[in-house]
Structure 1
C-alpha cells in the first residue's frame, strides 16, 4: 500500500517536470527575438558604456591613490 503511493508521487513529479519543460518550450517560441542588427547595436552600446565606466572608475582610483600617498608621505 505504501509502495503504491510512492509510485503515484513519483509519476506526479515526472509529469510535473514534463509539463514544466513543455510550457517552457512553448514560452520560448512566443518570445520575439531581436534581429542581428539590433543585437549588434545593443552590444556596441553596452561596450561603450562599460568602457566609459571603467575609465571613470580607473581615473578616480588613480587620483585617490596618488592623493592618499601624498597625504601619508607628509606625516
Structure 2
C-alpha cells in the first residue's frame, strides 16, 4: 500500500506543468556542478585515442593482408 501512495505522488507531480520546469532548473544546477576537464587534458586524451586508433587500424590491416595472402596460398 505504501508503494501505491508513492506512485500516486509521483504521478501527480509529473502530470503538472511544474514538473518539466523544475526538471530543467535541476538540470541547469547539475550542469554547473560538473568539473570540466581542462583544454590541455582534452587535447592529450584526444591525441592518445587517435594514436591508439591508428595503431589498431595498422595492426588489423596487416592481419587482413596476411590472412588474405594465406588463404590465397592455401586455395591456389
TM-score (norm 2): 0.72
1:58 aligns with 2:65: no
- Provide the aligned length of Structure 1 versus Structure 2: 65
Q: Gaps (5+ residues) in structure 2?
A: 1-11
Q: CA RMSD in A?
A: 2.0
TM-score (norm 1): 0.73
- Give the number of the structure with larger relative contact order, counting CA–CA contacts within 8 Å between residues 6 or more apart: 2
Partner Cα distance (2:13, 2:25) in 1: 20
How far the C-alpha of 1:15 sits from its partner, in A, is: 2.1
Matches for 1:1-75 after TM superposition, within 5 Å: 12=16, 14-73=17-76
Partner Cα distance (1:71, 1:29) in 2: 62
